[in-house]
Amino acid sequence: MPESTTTTAPRAGTDFIRQIVAADVESGRYGGRVVTRFPPEPNGYLHIGHAKSIVLNFGLAHEFGGRCHLRYDDTNPDTEKEEFVVAMQDDVRWLGYDWGEHLYFASDYFDRMYECAVTLIEKGSAYVDSQQADDIREGRGSVTEPGVESPYRSRSVEENLDLFSRMRAGEFEDGAHVLRGKIDMASPNMLMRDPVLYRIRHAHHYRQGDAWCIYPLYDYAHCLEDAFEDVTHSICTLEFENNRELYDWVLDKVGIEEPRTHQYEFARLDLEDAVLSKRRIAPLVNEGLVSGWDDPRLSTIAAIRRRGVPPEAVRTFCDMIGVAKTPAVIERARFDYAVREVLNAAAPRVMAVLEPLKVVITNFEDGRTEPIEAPYYPRDVPKEGSRTVPFSREVWIERSDFEEDPPKGFRRLVPGGEVRLRYAYVIRCDEVVKDEEGNVVELRCSYDPETRSGSAPLGRKVKGTIQWVSVESALDAEVRLFERLFVEGTEEGTDESALLEHLNPDSLVVVHAAKVEPSVARDPADTRYQFERTGYFWRDPVDGAGDSLVFNRIVALKDTWTKKEVATGGPEARRDVRSEVPRARPSAQAKPGPRPGPRLDDPEVAARFERFRGDLGVSEEHAELLADSPEWAEFFEAALIEYDDAVALAGWVVNDLRGMLGDRGLADLRFGGGEVGSLAALVEEGGVTRRAAKDVLARMVEEGGDPKELVEAMGLAVMNDPDELASIVDDVLQAWPDKVMEYREGKHALIGLFVGEVMKKTRGTADPEATKSLLAARLES
């Protein structure tokens, strides 16, 4: 949902977070602004716990007429990849939210963060510690014992500035030094015992390359990111409650003044039996126990999405469980209930038979087919629509709908008994045909032609109704039935080896010979169905693509695990549903296929990858993404004709353009790769700043156009008039007299603030280096 410009009242049943935001809006604390953010680290796939944060943060922004930023907290070069950046954007969009132009990366703030760290050193609030990591850890003490001050804590400001500068320049090996905040080694909050703010790490950053060899830690970085973006309400989960004191300390010492961002905590989503941590999912993926991070048995958003859960069901679930301060484990049945609530009102009903048993209707004319008009929706669903289902002499029914020796209360087909075929006729079982081993292989029945479509002679009662599919027109399908991945033992703290011991061997049941009515062949591939009396299903988007019919069960009609129905009081609770499913052992061949990725076993893909990675020096992640698609590869090659810096250009195409496309594809664009190359060349030539060029690219995505002409039309050409720039610089300095004084008193890190204000006033058209030089000259005069 895009940024709103009007304020709307918060929804009824408000929670404590919404009460805080409403109070701030009413008091005018931030001038009526509400700015939230969702700040994932791109080091894995988002999961259902993240969904709660996404729904909360984007929902708050929408309800209060504000905006929500999508910001990647990419300050750890060891684990972050472009693959995860793209996947997370896909997941957020799938959930129904849009950050608009407010896409940010923490790594873009590295210069400003560094300047803030210099400010802390200059104020005596930070120092370079040369102890080993184990010594620092031991020196922090315990919850009952105070910490011990580092022997390097008393270094002078000058020595600390020199060492920190040399750390930045790459003179030292990993682990040689760290930058620590100088706070209180006896603080009852152990996080405040001189926390590490920066570490040395000689590693390639997926976005910044090798420009940095020191990286800020989360507790130092994320509060600054919030402040740089003017976030008003920084909403975190409860595990960060103790971190709030450090959050405020950093902002205080750096000089971020009120009204400024503040952190608030809520209880994270802890879903029963869900394995959420990357550390615990990775062994399952690596050992081949699941097919990948999007295996439908997992609780990643990619897995939930592939399973077929509609995004509105996830939003409904998050709204249903609410926002609280107290941690609690949410029953899986509540999630399933939310999914059913959405699907019950939207999914067309069709008939499918998972374990088929043939029925021959002996008194129905051989070779005759009778069309039966069947509604897609029951009477309690306010939707219309129907399809034609062919009825013939031979039909399939569920094997479990027949019992030769029925238990008490069995209401389906028995020898000599009658049952209604859904939408069709009443049939009577006259003969049971068995094979040599005594297994039932066929039923021979007769039908009553006076009982079509629910009619029946007066006084005649039929106890049960079952689904069926015509033998001659049935479609063959593979059906995958998912259950909980673990039978027990998924509590936090369970080690990986013990976790694997509790795998549920029946978490995936594959039915290879299911029969489905022919109407589904005409439907869009992403249609979600209710297979009557069985559950909700859709075609697997990977293995069910093309002509293959592979269906995933999204959710059963009732909780087959606990054998208890969620108490809803609605019509679904009164329906006759099947609680038993055919059981089979999963096999490696039957597992869902892996998430699509670079097909390097394809010679053409491998050749493209080798050119991009080996010849042009593009990063591995970018090369994989570009090589895997002929369309993207061709687009990139066209861009290279106009601009030959392949590494920079790959960033334009993969990071910027892909992030702006949303649900569109390259074929939807009104321009080609050459125009992106021309735009990158304009930046290189100094005709437009990198920041302003992103606005140009966004306009191109929406409307097309020539980059150079758009730069002029949008008024985004680099400001070349020194007098005009000088006038804006003077206006900025006059607006910040206190900060000017602080700068002249030695707080030189404030240069970043002034540069940022000039860029705001010029919409990013001011040359950053020229701006910085002019500011320095003005401030030092």
Catalytic residues: 41, 268, 278
Residue 26 backbone zone (phi > 0: left; psi -120 to 50: alpha; other: beta): alpha
3-state secondary structure of 177: coil
My answer on whether omega of the bond before 375 falls inside 30° of 0, hence cis, is no
What gap in Å lies between CA 228 and CA 250, rounded to an integer? 13
User: What contacts 163, CB < 8 A, 6 or more positions away?
Assistant: 128, 155, 177
Distance of CA 615 to the CA centre of its chain: 34
Q: Are 628 and 605 in contact (CB under 8 A)?
A: yes
3-state secondary structure of 200: strand
Q: Are 389 and 519 in contact (CB under 8 A)?
A: yes
Q: Are 4 and 61 in contact (CB under 8 A)?
A: yes
Strand partners, 387: 374
What is the pairing mode between strands 126-129 and 418-421? unpaired
Q: Where are the beta strands (DSSP E) in 73-226?
A: 103-105, 126-129, 178-181, 196-200, 214-216
Q: Angle of helix 751-761 relative to helix 737-744, nearest 10 degrees?
A: 140
What's the alpha-carbon Rg for the chain, to the nearest Å?
A: 32
What gap in Å lies between CA 681 and CA 688, rounded to an integer? 9
What gap in Å lies between CA 173 and CA 179, rounded to an integer? 14
Sheet containing strand 67-72, edge to edge, reads 35-38, 67-72, 103-105
Residue type, 72: Y
Strand partners, 44: none
Q: How many helices (H) and strands (E) does the chain have?
A: 25, 27
What is the rounded end-to-end Cα distance, in angstroms, of the chain?
48
Q: Are 54 and 97 in contact (CB under 8 A)?
A: yes
Residue type, 186: A
Residue listed under structure tokens 């068995």: 434
